[in-house]
Structures are given as C-alpha cells and as structure tokens.
Chain A
Amino acid sequence: MPDGSVTISQLDLELRRIRKRYGSFTAVDDVSLQVGKGQFVCLLGPSGCGKTTTLRCIAGLEEPDDGDILIGGKEVTGDPPWKRDIAMMFQDFALFPHMTVAKQVGFGLEMLGKPKAEIAKRVAEVLKAFEITSLAERKPASLSGGQKQRVALARAMITEPRILLLDEPIGALDYSLRETVMLELKMLQQRSGISFIWVTHDQNEAFSLGDLVVVMNHAKIEQQGTPEEILARPRTPFVAGFVQGNNVFHGEAGTAAGGVLRVACPVGEFLVPLADLPAPAPGAAVSFSVRAERIADRPDPTLPNRVTARCTAVEFFGAVRRHILELADGEVLKYDQFGALAPRILPGQTVDLGWRAEDSVLHDAVLQG
C-alpha cells in the first residue's frame, strides 16, 4: 500500500476525516483510514477511545457529524445499515433468542429475498463449514460461549459481505479458547478475502492478527501501520506507553548533530536519532522510548545512553526475565533479559544500565498535542 499503487476503486473501505460528537463529548475526531482489498485491520485502544464508535459509523448504526465513508468506492455516509455491504459481529454476539441456529444463520439470506430452497442449501453448507450442523435446531440459550461465537460468525458471513466488522469478538470467550479462535478467524479471513475490521483493547490480538493496526486514543488515531512498524517505531508517547515493553522518557531537546539529538532528562542526557523527524528547536519538550529488551545491564563504557537504577521486582514470562527498576527521579524502568536462567540482578540491587543511541525512538513532537 505505501507504494501508492492502490487506487480508490481497490479500497474496501475509506474513512475521510470522520467526526462524531455526543453533546460536548467528541467520540471520534478527524479519523481517516484506508482499507485495501481483503485486509485485516485492528482498531486498538483503551476503552472510550472511540474505536467502537468508529466501527458503528462504518456499520451505519451511527451517523458521523462530519466526513465521508466509502465502502467499495461507493459513498455510503448517509445510508442506513441495511443498505451497506457489511456484516457485523457484536460483542455479546446478539443472537436472536427466539430463533433456532439454522433460522438465524439463514436470516441474512432471507432478508436478501433468496428462494427458500437456496437458503436451506446455503445454511446447510455454512453450518457444516463452521462445524455447527448438530446445533441447527437449538436455540441460543442452550449454546456455550464458543458455540454462540461460531453461530454469530456464520450468521454474519453467510451473505459474503465486502467487510466484516467485529466488536471485541473474542472478548466474551473463555481465555483458553481465545488463542484457537484467533487462529481460526485469521485463516478464515485469508480464505474468504473479506476485509475484517476488528476492534479490540488487547494488543496481543491486534499485533498477532492485524495486517494494519490502528492505535486510537481520545477519539483520534495516534498511529497506524503494520504491527512491526508500531512495535519498532511508536510515533507518540501514548503509543509507546500503551504497547507493552516500552520505556518512555520525557525531556528537553538539546542540539542536533549528525542526525542525532541530545535530550536532557531529569536522570541524565541521552542521544536519540532523529530518523525521519525534523530537529526540534532547542529547549522544546520531547519524548522518546526504548524497548525493555534493547537495554543491557553492566553496559560497555562506550554506550552513550546510561542510567543507574534500583531493582524493585523481577517477573518471569517464560523465556523472558523482566526487571522492574526505579530511576533516580522515581520513574519506572523495565529491562527484559532473554534466556537468562541464572538471575543477574536481584531486587534491592542498584545497577548501571545502558543502550545504544539507535535503540532510542524519538516521538513525533507534532502529534504530542
């Protein structure tokens, strides 16, 4: 997509500067998004960030106050949901309690006015594909969470919409089921060629599923990009803080030389590459982040970025040993060590830590608002 070869007609969805207010509360502010054919997009953010409202605007359940929505290149901003080429999966699945599984799965086809025989045939196929044939005559109240999720998905996908909107689709499932279901959904999305817009507050979901991850906060898009881009180069302190494993530093811009900026922080001075950003004016407030696994303990004296910190806790995540440390100004620093079986730092110890200049990621000052 970034190479510009995508023309408008190839987009499944385009949002142009949409805005939605409820009274004095702005739920969605100036959100623009392009979704190519068959893309898997995750809208990621904390609750109340506007991701669900954005999804509801795409579905037509809310009408934006401003901006345009295009589905398959066609302007649909004022269209009601039943005129849009979408389907939606709701957080609690929203199964119709009075209808059997077979009836609910066929509901979309029935609404399209398909002949009875064709509906019966398609429903049988879809139930088989989703391995829920045995549930055909059951009503939702007698289904387990995982079964409901399959029924809801079958019901949404039977009409083969251009876009499937999913609002925290696995949030209501048992934790043990989620991993399997995620994998199945990813494979289903790739086979079907339907674009998925998946709303979640869980970054593991977003990063393992999305072709494109859109991080939202306070009604705005903070950053969008591939999972790798967002992990490697968070553009704002919010994104850096929201994504696990980042340490965020705030400081004052110093001089820039050779594409490297000096940043003065309460705990010391650090070298941070400018990368593609313009050099901020000296004295401007800036922030940067460094990933916990990029830090080294007992650093080489030549490393330019160095801090002294006191270890307060050590946590284990399988192969990772995460150290929680306290800096001189009271801020928390996380340091991850991989494959270290023997402890190198114990709680209570004070250690020197350091990282290379290129491991620091400068945040986009313009976005900090």
Chain B
Amino acid sequence: MSTIRANSPAAYWLAAPAALWMLAAVVVPTLLLVWVSFWGGRAFSTASPLTFDNYLRFFSNQAYLGLVAATFGQALLLMAITGTLGYCIAYFMTMKVSNARWRTALFLAFIIPFWTSTLIRAIAWVPFLGVNGVINQALIGLGLTTKPVEAFLYSMTGVTMAQVSLYTMLAAGPVVYMLTSIQPALREAAMTLKATPFTVWRRITFPLTLPGVVIGQVLVFLNVMSDFATVATIGGNKHALLGNLVLNFYEGSQIRFAAVVAVLLMVCMLAGVALALRVVDIRKLGT
C-alpha cells in the first residue's frame, strides 16, 4: 500500500467533486453577484452595460455610509464583549472545572442553543427582552425598577444582548481548544521560575492561546457582519445593519443595489479575515 501523494493525479481526482461543488455553489454565484452589481441602465437584463453608477450612488448616500460604519461598530463591540467573556468562560471551564463530568455538562449547556437555527435563537430572545418579558418581570420582582425598561426590545441594546449570547461560544470554543492543548507542566515550569499566576497567564498561557482568540474573533466578526435575523427580530424596524439593507433592497426588487451591498459586505469580511491572518498563521494551528 502506498499513500496518495499531494501532487499525484489521484489527489486531484479526489479533490474534484468538492471543487466542482464549490465552483457551482460558491464561485459562480459570487461572480454573478459581482457582475450584477456593475449593471447599468434600467432593465434587469444580461445586456446591461457595465458601470460604476451603482457604487457611486451608494457611496454618495450619507445614510448608507453611516450604516457601514454602524455595522463595523457593532462588530467591534461584539468582538470586545464576546472576546473577554468567551476567554473567561473558556479559562474557567478548562482550568477551574477539574471534574470531567461537570465540564461536559457545562459545555453542553453552552452549545445546546446552537442546535437550533440562528433565526429561531434570535426570535427566542423576544419573550425575554419585551416590556412584559422575563428580564423586566425579574427586575420588577426584585424591586430594582418600578417601570419596565423599554430599552431591551426594539433597540440596539437588545440586539447586542442577544448577539452576545449567540456568539460568545464562537469566541470561547477555539480558546478552549488552545487552552486544553497547553501542557500543565509549562505553567508549572514558569511558576518554579518565580512567575506569579498573573505573569504566568500574561507570558505563557495568553501567548499560547492567542491563535484561538484570533480565530474566535474572526468567527464573531463574520457572524455579526452578516447577521440580519437578530437585528430584524429584536431591533424591530427601527434598526438595520448592512445585512438588513441587502434584504430591504432585495424585497424592493432593487437587485443591483442588493448586489452592491452584498459585494461590499464580502469585501469588508475578506479584509477582516486578511487582517486576522496577518496576526496568526492558521496553518500553524494544531502543530
């Protein structure tokens, strides 16, 4: 028996089905989208002339530019919150929960919400955040407030609360993986070299988990940038991010503008991933 070499014909044949699928499901639609975003004229036809008009009109609209900024702002906010929370949860579960059963139970508790779709999870937050929702009932019950807080539902505060719960595990998961792959002896060695626990974390544990942190941040960034469901259900009609704009244009049959926003969103996300890869070499993960 011999193994299949990376550059042999057999290797290419093995990669062919997946490559064809990716071509049909990802590459061609993406190229079509880019093409459509350059269509000029009024008619929705393949005979349309190619122009930059759609992009120029998009960028000359202050409201749309504000939306781009807001989307980036929301992504950065979520990255900061879920990054910190996620790291703490990951550290707690791997370092402080020594009982394997408890660890599994906690881990399941954290990932079970991910068994449902993003849309369902977003909608599930509505009864919690509403004026008569669980959170307000609890606050009133505890005597912390007399009037229900209206800021939770149909506000960006509510959207952020829901997104934090949805995406914290994305930030925590890769960190859990990196933390469990650090030999305990490394931290012990640092301690016997006179490092205090905080220094051990700063000089040994954190640098070794950094790739996990960055991967988690990329996942959160991509999800928040493309999230329209949470914003639509919890933000109501009052709030929108780029993802919702795509939907609005699409529902308004402004396919060319929908394509423009979709392309812009893709460019932003690619730029974010490219930036992250400059910090961490994903290919070196797991070695």
Which residues of A come within 8 Å of B, CB atoms? 59-61, 80-82, 84, 86-88, 90-92, 94-98, 107-108, 111-112, 141, 155-156, 159, 165
Chain B nearest CB from A114 CB (Å) reads: 11
The interface residues of chain A lying within 8 Å CB-to-CB of B185 are 90-92, 94
B191, A61: Cβ atoms under 8 Å? yes
- With A61-B188, A81-B188, A90-B185 as known contacts, state yes or no: A96 contacts B204, CB within 8 Å: yes
Residue of B nearest to A111 (CB): B194
**Interface residue? B189 (CB, 8 A):** yes
B188 touches A94 (CB 8 A): yes
The total of Cβ contacts below 8 Å across the A-B interface reads: 61
Q: Is the CB of B189 within 8 A of A90?
A: yes
Rounded to whole angstroms, the CA-CA distance of A156 and B195 in the bound complex is 13
Q: Tell me if A107 and B193 are in contact (CB < 8 A).
A: yes
| One of B186, B188, B199, B287 near A111 (C-beta < 8 A) | B199
Closest 4 CB pairs of A and B: A94-B185, A94-B189, A111-B194, A81-B191
Query: Chain B interface (Cβ within 8 Å of chain A)?
Result: 183, 185-186, 188-196, 199, 203-204, 207-208, 287
Query: For B208, what are the chain A residues with a Cβ–Cβ distance below 8 Å?
Result: 97-98
Say yes or no: B196 contacts A82, CB within 8 Å: yes
- Give the one of A81, A91, A108 with max B CB within 10 A: A81
Q: How far is the CA of A112 from the CA of B199 in the complex (A)?
A: 12
| Smallest Cβ-Cβ distance to B183: which chain A residue | A94
* CA–CA, A122 and B2, complex, Å: 52
Which residues of B sit under 8 angstroms from A97, Cβ to Cβ? 186, 208
Residues of B within 8 A of A94 (CB): 183, 185-186, 188-189
Question: Which A residues lie within 8 Å of B188 (CB)?
Answer: 59, 61, 81, 88, 90, 94
- A112→B195 CA distance, assembly (Å): 9
Bound: A80/B207 CA distance, A: 23
Q: Looking at A82, A91, A92, A97, which has the most chain B CB atoms within 10 Å of its CB? A: A82
A-B contact pairs, 11 of them (CB 8 A): A60-B191, A60-B192, A80-B191, A82-B194, A82-B195, A87-B192, A94-B185, A94-B189, A96-B190, A112-B194, A155-B193
Please state if A86 and B195 are interface contacts (CB–CB under 8 Å).
no
Complex CA gap A92/B251 in Å reads 62
In the complex the two chains form, is B194's CB within 8 Å of A88's CB? no
Docked-complex contact B193 and A111, CB < 8 angstroms: yes
